[in-house]
Amino acid sequence: MSSGLDARQLYKGRIEAATEIWSKIMRNEVSTRNQLEELVYIVYKQKGIEPFRGLSKVRIYDKEIATIYIIGKYGLGLLDGELTNAFKNIFNVEIACDEIYSFLKARNFQLNDNNDTEQFRKMVDNEALGGPKTEERGFRLLRYVFTGTIMRFFPPEEDFVGTYKALSTAFPDLASKFMRYVRFYVALEWLKTSRLVILRRLRRRRS
């Protein structure tokens, strides 16, 4: 079994929670981001799921909406252009992050000239990403790519590292702060890998 499928198995409960949340969204039971944040909190508590922890626990369930969006778009295939626009009011942060991610991916995560760098700066320094400071907006972007990476909806590591490098190039004075998030990712990835090894061993014993 591939590491991608193993990761999906590891996060099976989280994927099931997101699927349940999406069923309510598609039935128009959620109309605001605050309602979605509350719904994520309720469903996660019912299922005993903890949100991905970052460097800050402030509005952690609002940040966890990234998980719901990524599973909906890249896992369930629910979001096309029309639906993305329809849900823009509740997924404004994630849509902005995904646009930046697509911008970087199209350039192989290389800011090739001043125009690329300036456009990237404007995309990151955007009120839609929340937070009054550029570093907080950069953390949102890193968290988004980190979430897709650790759940294996995005390529392992390369895209996350590429996003960090782009942020460090565009905002060199913040590079050390963005590196803190990279270190956090490395620690969590090590923990996840250890858990996957245990899962594989348990499967072998059952077979």
| Whole-Å CA distances, 101 to 64, 79, 133, 140 | 17, 16, 20, 12
Q: Is pLDDT larger for residue 190 or for residue 136?
A: 136
Name the packing angle between helices 114-124 and 134-150 (round to 10°): 90
Residue 192 is predicted with a pLDDT of 59
Give residue 149's Cα distance to chain centre.
8
Residue 181 is predicted with a pLDDT of 82
Q: Write 176-182 long-range contacts (CB < 8 A, 24+).
A: 177/135, 177/138, 178/135, 178/138, 178/139, 178/142, 180/55, 181/54, 181/55, 181/139, 181/142, 181/143, 181/146, 182/142
Cβ–Cβ < 8 Å for 196, 1: no
Residue 10 is predicted with a pLDDT of 72
For the chain, the domain total comes to 1
Tell which residue, 35, 36, 68, has the closest CA to residue 51: 68
* pLDDT range class, residue 59, cuts 50, 70, 90: confident
| Whole-Å CA distances, 166 to 69, 145, 163, 175 | 23, 13, 5, 10
Residues contacting residue 129 through CB under 8 Å, at least 6 positions apart: 93, 96, 97, 136, 137, 140, 141
Residue 196 is predicted with a pLDDT of 45
Q: Is pLDDT larger for residue 201 or for residue 62?
A: 62
Range of the domain at 29: 3-206
pLDDT at 200 over 70: no
pLDDT tens for each residue of 28-47: 999 999 999 999 999 999 99
Residue 100 is predicted with a pLDDT of 97
pLDDT at 79 over 90: no
* pLDDT range class, residue 143, cuts 50, 70, 90: very high
